[in-house]
């Protein structure tokens, strides 16, 4: 029996022998995704490239990607903040949470019609990171070098005990 490959098989490029899986009896037509129209006239830009689309995401706040890891005594957070001066970065630390906020502004104005590709994020960004354990807020530090901010948060040792001497008097 000659069976038509299923949608998944055609999508993934797999071939299925006749008795493994049944394909759908009928296929539904797929409508093309609606296109977002550009405010520029015409559908193509110079050299046959599509005209750049207005990006609604640029008006909203971006989320800063981070790496968070631990050592024996610290929790370390790293984030790329290229194009942001350290004094434009706001880092708030509590015992169980870190919030990083900032803004990356374009240094020159380029007309939207002059872009071929626009992938960089410009505007304000933030990130809130819930910490896996409590940290010492007062002993925490942050530094920025080559567009990479590193936040070092010393862990609080809950198992650590101190003995108090009772004074008479």
- Tell me: do 138 and 88 sit in the same domain: yes
* Mean pLDDT, all residues of the chain: 75
What's the confidence (pLDDT) of residue 138?
Answer: 93
pTM: 0.58
DSSP string, 80-100: E-TT--GGG-EEEE-SSEEEE
Range of the domain at 76: 64-154
Within a domain: 37: no
CA 104/CA 85 separation, integer angstroms: 9
* Partners of 125 in the β-ladder: 62, 102
Percent of the chain with pLDDT over 70: 62
What are 123-168's pLDDT values in tens digits?
A: 899 999 999 999 999 999 999 999 999 999 999 877 666 677 888 8
Within a domain: 95: yes
* pLDDT category of residue 48 using cuts at 50, 70 and 90: very low
Q: How many CB atoms lie within 10 A of CB 87?
A: 7
What are 3-45's pLDDT values in tens digits?
A: 666 666 666 666 555 544 454 455 555 555 544 443 333 334 4
Provide the token pair at 70: 């631990």
- Tell me: do 133 and 86 sit in the same domain: yes
């Amino acid at each position: 029996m000659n069976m038509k490959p299923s949608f998944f098989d055609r999508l993934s490029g797999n071939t299925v022998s006749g008795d493994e899986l049944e394909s759908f009896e009928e296929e539904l037509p797929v409508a093309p995704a609606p296109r977002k129209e550009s405010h520029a006239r015409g559908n193509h830009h110079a050299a046959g490239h599509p005209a750049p689309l207005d990006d609604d995401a640029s008006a909203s706040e971006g989320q800063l990607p981070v790496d968070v890891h631990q050592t024996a005594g610290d929790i370390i957070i790293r984030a790329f903040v290229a194009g942001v001066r350290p004094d434009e970065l706001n880092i708030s630390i509590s015992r169980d949470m870190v919030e990083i906020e900032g803004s990356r502004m374009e240094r020159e104005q380029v007309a939207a019609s002059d872009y071929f590709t626009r992938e960089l994020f410009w505007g304000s960004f933030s990130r809130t990171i819930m910490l896996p354990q409590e940290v010492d807020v007062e002993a925490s530090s942050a530094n920025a070098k080559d567009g990479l901010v590193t936040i070092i948060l010393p862990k609080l040792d809950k198992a650590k005990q101190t003995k108090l001497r009772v004074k008479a008097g």
